[in-house]
Structure 1
Amino acid sequence: MLAYLFLAPALAILAFTVVYPFFQAITISFTNKMAGASASFVGLANYRELIADPVFLKVLINTFQYTLLGVGIKFLLGLTMALVLSQERPANYIFKTILFVPWAVPPVVAALNWRWIYDDFSGLANHILFALNLVDEPVAWTGDKSIAMLS
């Protein structure tokens, strides 16, 4: 029961950000709603118009082709690389490193960006606070125990 209590906030956020907008979009799709005007029910007319549109059919076909081709190529390439790298070879560590670097670099770049944003003297956060006259001296974002966890 405690597990459901811990899940409740996440499920509430999910419902608010995904489920409600999804059903709202479905509801609006059955109307002739335009921005700033009231809506009236039109039933399946929007869907009939969409299916009859040759551009939509072309886009739908292109989407399926792109998805099938993209997933297929990525699957085959990934499987091939996994099989090759699982075999013992003299220079395998080089290939593993080449594959690992693109996976490892984005978190490092993100960490460096946050370090720059929270820098005590030249950071973006302090620069904005100074420009808005909200502080008189730099905030030690990661050096102050009271705000370090929030930072």
Structure 2
Amino acid sequence: MAGIAEPREITEQTKELRQAPAEDHFPPLGPLARRLERPEVLGYLMVAPALLLLIVLLGYPFIQAVWLTMLDKRVGVEGNFIGLGNYIDLWSDQVYRWTVMNTMIFTAVSVVCKVVFGLTGALILNQAFRMKNFFRGFILLPWIIPSVLSALVWLWMYDDTFGVISRTLIAFGLIEEKILWLSQWGIALTSIIIVNVWRTMPFFIVSLLAALQTVPKDQYEAAEIDGANLLSQFWNVTLPNIKHVLIIVTLFGTIWTMSDFNIIFVLTSGGPANSTHVFSTLAYQYALGAGKLGEGIAVSFTMFPLLFVIIFYRLYRMRRDPT
């Protein structure tokens, strides 16, 4: 009988321990521990190591770059402090003003084409048809290939002598003589835009395709019952549901396009006659080509205000419409 009562006693003791208040077993938290236990404080503590690493790796180089823009710094020569002299010289430079215009045209046209073609491709790939999974994977090929390698392929295709594009157009009777794709101002900039759109359009297609697949099917069914056609369904159902994703991919696309370097440098290096320079290629030419580090970094910094305006405008629009 004693052997039977023993487990019952252990069970009663266990119940008493479980029902005992927590402060009987753990010491109370001190003031500092209670502060650290707050969610807002704990969150800052968790991101503090990463933030410190970013400050060390990015903050110091950024401050150093700002200081160099205020010096008449050249490669191998100690620079003298000239304040805003580099920025003043840039605004009086015809090549720089031409570069600003080229950057605006290049960015605006490229981003608009990416949005239009990317959304069109996403709508097509969102439909049910045979081998759709194959095409969804195949469309990523331009995005996967390294940008320098793809630019070299396009350089061969645009070649004045051996280019396959001109040869194909002549063979079909669309043109009579070869086009100098990279040797004329308007055509050269257009050729670069085509390559840039081809290179990064898969990002738009895949991102918007993912957004399209989250649109509830019952909304389309309700729109059909109300007699809405395809255009009305796109405008009133599809677009509102993917609006925020569209804004985000457009924002990223604008930043990437404005700072693009590899494609332009491989195809034209800013030529012919500095007519296809953008901020990144002109900064490279000044800093590393001519050895003017101060002016080259100043060119890069003049791109920041425009990027900040675009970013904050997009964020402001998203805050105004939280739905």
Structure 1 length-normalised TM? 0.56
SS in 2 for 1:32: coil
- 1:83 lines up with 2:149 in the alignment: no
The equivalent position to 1:22 in structure 2, one of 31, 45, 62, is: 62
Identify which of structures 1 and 2 has the higher relative contact order when contacts are C-alpha pairs closer than 8 Å and 6+ apart: 2
The Cα of 1:35 is off from its aligned counterpart by: 4.3
2:133 — aligned with what? 93
- Structure (1 or 2) with the larger CA radius of gyration: 2
CA 1:37–1:92: 2 relative to 1, 3 Å: closer
The Cα of 1:103 is off from its aligned counterpart by: 6.7
Question: Can you give the 5+ residue segments of structure 1 that lack an aligned partner in the other structure?
Answer: 107-151
CA distance in 2, matches of 1:96, 1:17: 38
| Correspondences of 1:109-128 after superposition (within 5 Å) | none
The Cα of 1:48 is off from its aligned counterpart by: 1.0
1:72 — aligned with what? 112
- 1:9 lines up with 2:49 in the alignment: yes
1:47 — aligned with what? 87
SS in 2 for 1:41: coil
1:127 — aligned with what? none
User: How many residues align structurally?
Assistant: 106
The Cα of 1:8 is off from its aligned counterpart by: 1.6
CA distance in 2, matches of 1:39, 1:100: 47
SS in 1 for 2:81: coil
The Cα of 1:7 is off from its aligned counterpart by: 1.2
Greater share of residues in helix: 2
Cα deviations by residue, 1:2-46 (Å, 9 ceiling, x for unpaired):
332221221122112222222221222122234454443212221
RMSD: 2.7
Question: Can you give the 5+ residue segments of structure 2 that lack an aligned partner in the other structure?
Answer: 1-40, 147-323
CA 1:51–1:5: 2 relative to 1, 3 Å: same
SS in 1 for 2:129: coil
| Correspondences of 1:52-67 after superposition (within 5 Å) | 52-67=92-107
The Cα of 1:104 is off from its aligned counterpart by: 7.8
Segments of 4+ moved more than 6 angstroms: 101-106
CA distance in 1, matches of 2:54, 2:104: 28
Aligned-residue identity in percent: 37
The Cα of 1:63 is off from its aligned counterpart by: 1.7
SS in 2 for 1:33: coil
SS in 1 for 2:139: helix
CA 1:95–1:35: 2 relative to 1, 3 Å: closer
The Cα of 1:88 is off from its aligned counterpart by: 2.5
